[in-house]
Amino acid sequence: MTPTLGSLEQVDVRAIWPNEATSFTPWLAGDGFALLADTLGIEMELLGTEQQVSEFKADIIARRTDTPDEHIVLIENQLERTDHGHLGQLLTYAAGKQAATIVWVAREFTEAHRAALDWLNSITGDHFEFYGLEIEAWRIGTSPAAPKFNMVVRPNDWSRSLKVADYGSVSELKLLQREYWDALRQRLLAAKSPVKPQKALPQHWTNFAIGRSGALLSALVNSKDKQIGAVLELTGPPDKLWFKVLAQHKDAIEAEFGAELSWEELPGKKSSRIGLYRADSDCQKKDDWAAQHAWLQATLEKLRTVFAQRVKQLPGDAGPDEEPA
């Protein structure tokens, strides 16, 4: 029997959002925020809309929750074809807010503005990311319209890694670490793990969001001691408040986790750690990567299960984050 199928019909975005400021920006900062984050492949939390930048106002300001540092996201949107005025606003607001992830959403991108964002991605370091997204709406028959983002510009991680290697500014070990994290990333994506990976970088750690700024999961490699680790990294309020609160429930946490954990207050540093380490794990031995990555995946997923809700219930706001030592 031949199934009855409907036909997709594109809907004018202006019919859904008649006004940029009063309808599209509020939707993008509200119901559309999760769809935007999912399309970008990042995790972030909203800080505000119509944020003052000198005598101007930025559409949406957010903060990444999947990076170890204080990483601001600027989102500029328009329901028309891209123009030079909005490109200027994008750069002005990014400078004013010290944004590191810059997102331009529009109904249609011109080739010139695509090229401009591609050029910005090519000349800036790994800390900066420029995205261009086109917004569409579709429906079947009389069904409600469904929004869809099309990624037209994104950071070119591959070309950036070549640029770093060509200039010789990164050691062979750092490049191996990047390959190690990329292999772990591919494993997590293939398994549809609840632990969502970010892009692989040439460093001895990689981070994963856990739902709150100032707290994240980290996977670590120590090539000197031939050890790997999976930890909850806390860079929250001063005086190690979050670590001390969780330490009060150490027995219950370890019982739920199913093993004794390493509780590292790290005096003299802003961050603290709670996690587990695996000895005899040399990241330079590629034939052992599968076993190491299997252990990291299982341990990270267990840490997320045990700590995700506990972290969200911790008191106070996080201070500035720092990278794992």
Please give the average per-residue pLDDT across 77-88, as a whole number: 92
Give CA–CA dist 299/241, Å, rounded.
24
Mean per-residue pLDDT of the chain: 87
- At residue 317, does pLDDT exceed 70? no
Least confident range from 108-112, 129-133, 283-287, 320-324: namely 320-324
- At residue 92, does pLDDT exceed 70? yes
Domain boundaries, the chain: 8-155, 161-312
Given a contact cutoff of 8 angstroms between Cβ atoms, the answer to whether 53 and 96 are in contact is: yes
Given a contact cutoff of 8 angstroms between Cβ atoms, the answer to whether 151 and 133 are in contact is: yes
Which residues lie below 8 Å from residue 22, measured CB to CB, with a gap of 6+?
Answer: none
Given a contact cutoff of 8 angstroms between Cβ atoms, the answer to whether 104 and 132 are in contact is: yes
Please state which of the four CATH numbers 3.40.50.10470, 3.30.470.10, 3.40.50.720, 3.40.1350.10 is assigned to the domain occupying 8-155.
Answer: 3.40.1350.10
Please give the average per-residue pLDDT across 53-58, as a whole number: 76
Q: For residue 69, what pLDDT is reported?
A: 61
